[in-house]
A and B are shown apart, each in its own frame.
Chain A
Amino acid sequence: MAAGGPSVFLLMVNGQVESAQFPEFDNLYCKYCFVYGQDWAPTAGLEEGISQITSKSRDACQALVWNFPIDITFKSTNPFGWPQIVLSVYGPDVFGNDVVRGYGAVHVPFSPGRHKRTIPMFVPESTSKLQKFTSWFMGRRPEYTDPKVVAQGEGREVVPHRASPSVRTSHSMAAGLPAEHVKGPSPV
């Protein structure tokens, strides 16, 4: 096989974190960041962001709307390590402390075009009842020191989680792929 040197392809993602549905919580904000493999590098746009704090709407669907923009372009030589967007949602508890309400991650879509994704969110849970009570009381819930852990497969088996509902994002994607390099998915 001829080794012509690695050829580079670009991946542009733009879109928004639209809204969330969290029946039990209100006044939430979200942070996003991207996790990607070693062969990937962002060339333009912001890798991380923090949204505004939003309250639930008064109507029946009780949506928490952020409408928070995402815009980033990656370059890479290898699809391994395809970027994932990691979302963390935070909000105040009964005592006014800022606690984590959910983490979620999803791969950036592979095919060009418009995509709408609903991401389930989950929180780590203390295993002992005493620790659950003290963490509720002190406002210090179990939290990841680095939210990027959510995008990785290793080490998940040790932490029990509880799932709460979902954050909706919509994004569109354009990919510049040299045609002979990667046989990508066929357009829809």
Chain B
Amino acid sequence: MAEVHVIGQIMGATGFSESSLFCKWGVHTGAAWKLLSGIREGQTQVDTPQVGDMAYWSHPIDLHFATKGLQGWPRLHLQVWSQDSFGRCQLAGYGFCYVPSSPGTHQLACPTWRPLGSWREQLARAFVGGGPQLLHGDTIYSGADRYRLHTAAGGTVHLEIGLLLRHFDRYGVEC
């Protein structure tokens, strides 16, 4: 079986209108992939930037996969939420990006979006908070039902991911 090591960090996020952000992240793979070590999903701490507008999380990711096929290459899906001083959480954006397929260190900038809703919901969100959220999280990384959504842009999540591949040449795969 070929093996893939994904080692890196979710560095932080920029461009969100809210401060005090945290990120729920997860890695989704196809059926041929098996997670040997590491934690597949998690949540970062809430960060409030003091200087500048980038919220830093520096959340480590260390995953070791074994795979029998290339289908279902790992995808990282992200949900950025903001937390206000009362402790309420509001969605700031959804995003996903594929884990790179060439070995080495990669800087990734993942754009995010959030569902808009009707004008009433937008008005309520501006004054009271809240706002529509996805019922099924897999819409974040699949294209199937996206045509039903009307969304607005969120900020960008910055990641630094390093990739180590092993035994791919035995199966005739060039990386």
A residues in contact (CB < 8 Å) with B: 1, 23-24, 37, 78-82, 84, 104-107, 109-111, 119-120, 122, 125, 127, 150-154, 156-165, 181-186
Contacts and interface: CB of A to CB of B under 8 A. Distances in A.
A111 B168 CA distance: 19
Contacts of B1: 1
Contacts of B93: none
B45 A111 contact: no
Contacts, number: 129
Given A107-B9, A183-B165, A185-B162, A161 B43 contact: no
Interface of B: 1, 5, 7-9, 11-12, 20, 22, 36-39, 42-52, 54-62, 64, 83, 87, 103-105, 162-169, 175
Contacts of B42: 153-154, 156-157
Contact of A107 (B8, B48, B51, B169): B8
B175 A120 contact: no
Contacts of A81: 37, 62
5 contacts: A1-B167, A105-B60, A122-B58, A153-B62, A161-B45
Given A110-B7, A161-B48, A163-B49, A153 B22 contact: no
A10 to B, nearest CB: 15
A107 B9 CA distance: 8
Nearest to B87: A127
A57 B54 CA distance: 26
Given A107-B60, A110-B104, A185-B164, A82 B7 contact: yes
Contacts of B58: 104-106, 119-120, 122, 150
A156 B162 contact: no
A122 B104 contact: no
Contacts of A182: 164, 166
Nearest to B23: A157
